[in-house]
């Protein structure tokens, strides 16, 4: 994963040409990497900004940074799906594999970048809540910085209600409250049985969390003896690596900070994990 860093000494050379000379890559490879967010420009203490324009010429005193990782740049993800467009914000279904935020190596596989490039009319897209790469489900995307800050404030004050649906190994009890600390911090989850399939020994459960620790639902369900199907981190030591994580953010409910109207969004059952494809695969 090579990196290239260069102080601008010739302000007449276009960025793509300069990076071609620095990296030895073709100009087409450089242009694609720029579009996918692998190139940055900085000046003094002003911070780093992504640079996507191949014909951009830079100023003396600026630095250009190129982070090239072919594996990251070649990553392909399924399309996000628009659930509701509320103008200042929108609600989307994030598929498995799509990222909630980018890195210095690129941002083309993130949901906010996907929304910026594919939502019409085109608008800026700011992340409000996050989901693991392996998780699926509802995400809030703001289209102004003010709306992003306002909605993020609702999350911080726990004024946005979220539920998740997970497919887990074993016969889950009717209700289970799990308060195991995570990273020495208080963590509380509430889970309830939706359905149990005896033939597969799998349970579909609904989960609400009162705290937002990293991988909280995955850790808590695994600790309780009911690992999520497809969980390669917290599932059984020998797991089916072909099965995606069966964890979906299913509902979002809150009072819209702009209109004052109660808002409720729920994914259709088509997006929920199911026992059926697992049983068919074993036939």
Architecture field, domain 161-248+276-282: 2-Layer Sandwich (3.30)
* 30 DSSP assignment: H
Number of neighbouring beta carbons within 10 Å of residue 228 = 25
Task: Give the domain ranges of the chain.
Answer: 3-73, 81-157, 161-248+276-282
Span 240-280, pLDDT tens digits = 556 889 999 999 999 999 999 999 999 999 999 877 655 55
Architecture field, domain 3-73: Roll (3.10)
**In this predicted structure, what is the pLDDT of residue 280?**
57
Percent of the chain whose predicted confidence (pLDDT) is above 90? 81
Span 144-184, pLDDT tens digits = 999 999 999 999 998 999 999 999 999 999 999 999 899 88
How many Å apart are CA 254 and CA 162, to the nearest integer? 9
DSSP string, 135-152: -EEEEEEESSHHHHHHHH
DSSP string, 184-223: TB---EEEEEEEEETTTTEEEEEEEESS--TTHHHHHHHH
Question: What is the sign of the dihedral through the CA atoms of 132, 274, 160 and 218?
Answer: negative
**In this predicted structure, what is the pLDDT of residue 243?**
81
- Report which of 194, 197, 201 is spatially closest to residue 174, judged by C-alpha positions: 194
Q: Are 207 and 164 in contact (CB under 8 A)?
A: yes
Number of neighbouring beta carbons within 10 Å of residue 118 = 12
Residue 70 CB contacts under 8 Å (≥ 6 apart), including other chains: none
Which element (helix H / strand E) includes 40? Answer: strand 39-43
Q: Residues in the chain with pLDDT < 50?
A: 238-239, 283
The dotted CATH code for 81-157 is 3.30.70.580
């Amino acid at each position: 994963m090579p990196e290239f860093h260069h102080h601008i000494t010739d302000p007449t050379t276009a960025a793509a040409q300069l990076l071609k000379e620095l990296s030895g890559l073709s100009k087409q490879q450089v242009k694609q990497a720029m579009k996918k967010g692998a190139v940055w420009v900085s000046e003094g203490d002003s911070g780093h900004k992504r640079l996507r324009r191949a014909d951009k010429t830079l100023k003396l005193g600026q630095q250009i940074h190129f982070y090239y990782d072919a594996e990251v740049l070649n990553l392909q993800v399924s399309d996000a799906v628009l659930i509701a467009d509320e103008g200042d914000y929108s609600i989307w279904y994030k598929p498995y594999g799509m990222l909630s935020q980018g890195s210095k190596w690129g941002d083309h596989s993130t949901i906010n970048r996907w929304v910026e490039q594919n939502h019409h009319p085109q608008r800026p897209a700011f992340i409000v809540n996050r989901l693991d790469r392996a998780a699926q489900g509802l995400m809030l995307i703001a289209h102004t910085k003010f709306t992003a800050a306002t909605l993020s404030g609702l999350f911080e004050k726990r004024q946005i209600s979220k539920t998740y649906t997970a497919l887990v190994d074993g016969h889950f009890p009717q209700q289970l409250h799990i308060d195991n600390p995570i990273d020495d911090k208080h963590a509380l989850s509430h889970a309830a049985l939706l359905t149990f399939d005896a033939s597969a020994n799998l349970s579909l459960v609904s989960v609400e969390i009162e705290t937002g620790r990293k991988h909280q639902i995955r850790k808590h369900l695994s600790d309780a003896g009911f690992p999520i199907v497809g969980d390669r981190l917290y599932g059984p030591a020998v797991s089916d690596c072909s099965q995606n994580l069966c964890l979906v953010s299913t509902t979002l409910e809150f009072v819209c900070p702009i209109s004052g109207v109660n808002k409720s969004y729920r994914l259709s059952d088509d997006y929920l994990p199911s026992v059926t494809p697992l049983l068919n695969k074993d036939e």
